């Protein structure tokens, strides 16, 4: 007898790709499972004309999915980790973090090869305060303008000529088979990625141990440790996806290295900090070491004045 599990997902093409990916993985590892998608509209999808930072951002893309899980209409929700708040609401837990796709930002343009190739004063589209802060710190002459909507909408606005270039996540473009649109993978030293960028996370009702067990084969240890450090940093800085904070960790040979940045949205200031740590012991211990590393970098950014910068936004 097959058992049915339902995934709550937003309706954007990228959200659907991610939910379909989790469905396929689950069915591969558990042939007895029948996985269905429950497609839901969220407030974040409907508000397209205001900066997310101005509409009380945190959790904007995931609230409705939690309501469906609470009502028993779905058993789990699949999210871009970048959009998952640092604290999960009571009754829910982050069960699994899957393998990260390319974490970097993409420069997309029909006329130019890279950020440095843009002419003086060029119009660049992004609504990410993190991207704006870092790009303006590097190229203060650029005219950064508002750009929201799902990946297809943003590319459409570029092609209509509203912008000379736009910046979005490489991961989204790659997953939607639009990698040909990436003119430059923006190096991390120019635009450090957002906390969790490129990783997919799975949220469940707190205490649903049977489902968590089922999800275990989808969990990616290297990604989980890196994203744990990034999120621990963000938690201390009190940041979500809608603040000019960047955080990116790499893990090679048990050495976890985390870099964090907090910027002024006009590019006038960019605080940077990094630290590394050798992870040892069982995974649960390594996660707590990764968390400590995140706290260290956050405290260093705070000692450099991050709080004042974030309060200005």
Ligand X SMILES: NCc1[nH]cc(CCC(=O)O)c1CC(=O)O
Binding residues (CB under 6 A) for ligand X: these are: 80, 82-83, 168-169, 171-172, 197-198, 241
Q: Give min distance, CB of 241 to ligand X, in A.
A: 5
Instruction: Name the helix (H) or strand (E) containing 256.
Output: strand 255-263
Q: Give the largest Cα separation in the chain, rounded.
A: 65
Q: Give min distance, CB of 82 to ligand X, in A.
A: 4
Residue 292 among the catalytic residues: no
Q: Which CB sits closer to ligand X, 85 or 172?
A: 172
Q: Give min distance, CB of 297 to ligand X, in A.
A: 20
Q: Which CB sits closer to ligand X, 240 or 275?
A: 240
Q: Give min distance, CB of 14 to ligand X, in A.
A: 6
Helix locations, the chain, DSSP H: 13-29, 43-46, 63-70, 129-138, 151-159, 170-175, 209-215, 221-237, 283-303, 306-312
Distance between CA atoms of residues 271 and 261, nearest Å:
5
Contact predicate 154/166, CB 8 Å: yes
- Please give the order of strands across the beta sheet that includes 245-252: 245-252, 255-263, 270-278
Q: Give min distance, CB of 136 to ligand X, in A.
A: 18
Contact predicate 188/248, CB 8 Å: yes
Distance between CA atoms of residues 289 and 291, nearest Å:
5
Q: Which CB sits closer to ligand X, 175 or 205?
A: 175
- Helix 13-29 vs helix 151-159: crossing angle, to nearest 10: 140
Q: Which CB sits closer to ligand X, 97 or 171?
A: 171
Contact predicate 226/103, CB 8 Å: no
Q: Which CB sits closer to ligand X, 82 or 212?
A: 82
Catalytic residue, chosen from 45, 75, 83, 208, is: 83
> Which residue matches tokens 């809608």?
242
Active site residues: 83
């Amino acid at each position: 007898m097959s058992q049915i599990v339902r995934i709550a997902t937003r309706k954007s093409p990228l959200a659907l790709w991610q939910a379909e990916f989790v469905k396929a993985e689950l069915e591969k590892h558990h042939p007895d499972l029948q996985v269905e998608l429950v497609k839901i509209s969220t407030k974040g999808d409907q508000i397209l004309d205001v900066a997310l930072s101005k509409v009380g951002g945190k959790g904007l893309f995931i609230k409705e999915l939690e309501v469906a899980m609470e009502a028993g209409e779905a058993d789990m929700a699949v999210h871009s980790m970048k959009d998952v708040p640092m604290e999960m609401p009571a009754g829910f837990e982050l069960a699994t973090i899957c393998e990260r796709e390319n974490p970097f930002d993409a420069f997309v343009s029909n006329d130019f090869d890279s950020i440095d190739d843009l002419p003086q004063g060029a119009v660049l589209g992004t609504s990410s305060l993190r991207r704006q802060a870092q790009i303006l710190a590097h190229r203060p002459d650029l005219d950064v303008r508002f750009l929201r909507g799902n990946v297809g909408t943003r590319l459409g606005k570029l092609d209509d000529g509203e912008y000379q270039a736009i910046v979005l996540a490489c991961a989204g473009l790659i997953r939607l088979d639009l990698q040909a649109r990436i003119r430059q993978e923006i190096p991390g030293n120019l635009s450090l990625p957002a906390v969790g960028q490129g990783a997919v996370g799975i949220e469940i009702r707190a205490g649903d141990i049977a489902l968590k067990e089922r999800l275990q084969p989808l969990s990616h240890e290297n990604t989980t440790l890196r994203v744990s450090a990034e999120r621990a940093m963000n938690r201390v800085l009190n940041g979500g996806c809608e603040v000019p904070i960047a955080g990116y960790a790499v893990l090679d040979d048990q050495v976890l290295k985390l870099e964090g940045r907090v910027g002024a949205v006009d590019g006038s200031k960019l605080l940077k900090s990094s630290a590394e740590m050798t992870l040892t012991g069982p995974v649960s211990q390594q996660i707590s070491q990764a968390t400590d590393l995140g706290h260290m970098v956050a405290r260093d950014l705070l000692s450099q004045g991050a709080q004042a910068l974030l309060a200005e936004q």
